[in-house]
Amino acid sequence: MYLIIIGAGSIGSQLIKLATKQNNDVVVIENNSEVAERAASTYDCLVINGDATVIDTLDEAGAHQADAIISTTDKDATNIMVMLLAQELKIPSLVSVVHNPAHMQVFRQIGVNVLENPQHLIAEYLYRAVQRPSVKDFMHLGDNAEVFEITATQGSKIAGMSLLEADEQGLFGDDVLIVAIQRDQSVITPRGETAIQAGDLVTVFSKRGFAPDVMQLFMDEE
């Protein structure tokens, strides 16, 4: 894949590292000369020290052959301008970081795949880790719904119970769905007869998010 990455800062550098490791053709545009020089000496990719809001710079980066462009700067105005130019140049996939939630709809209206302010997401993740230490990972869906991973403990109500039994007892309700079960090194697709065992890492979809009654099913009853 031919990727153009805008920005080689804290977000961009991690993206460059990942993209080059996967053997993609990567071109980076970085406006700061020192940051650009550091990226060029660190990663196996072409780094252009220039302004990505100038269409000639995107042309120099090979926009005509790019499969995707990802803008990671800390300024929404810069990111939206890059996306508009990329759209004009007909780059197939447009992706950008968005720092102000109020700007999300603007990006989406022109067909940009967006990532909400990464600093906010990290802060929320850390807060959740303290608030709900049993939750291993999570993702928001809409206003309240969430997908999260939680480990079933030995003394939990759900341990040893099949999904059919749990459904018959009304433990989950219509707004909770077991998506997957990871046991040791295997991933199990849940069926009615599938039993959740202590130590299983369970992926749960809940329309009510981290509802206490849902969480308690997987935790010690004491």
Query: What's residue 128's pLDDT?
Result: 61
Give the mean pLDDT of the chain.
87
Q: Are strands 68-71 and 93-98 parallel, antiparallel or unpaired?
A: parallel
Query: What's residue 115's pLDDT?
Result: 79
Which is nearest to 219 in space by CA: 158, 164, 165?
Answer: 158
Task: Place 10 in a pLDDT band, splitting at 50, 70 and 90.
Answer: confident
Sign of the alpha-carbon dihedral angle for 168, 173, 177, 178: negative
Q: Tell me: pLDDT of 65 over 60.
A: yes
- DSSP 3-state assignment of 61? coil
Domains of the chain, start order: 2-116 (3.40.50.720), 132-216 (3.30.70.1450)
Residue 115 or residue 95, greater confidence:
95
Q: Tell me: pLDDT of 49 over 70.
A: yes
- What's the average model confidence in pLDDT over 109-137? 69
- Within a 13 Å sphere around the CA of 66, how many CA atoms are in the beta-carbon half? 27
Query: What's residue 69's pLDDT?
Result: 97
Q: Tell me: pLDDT of 132 over 70.
A: no
Q: What angle do CA 3, 114, 81 make, to 5 degrees?
A: 70
Residue 220 tokens, joined: 């010690």
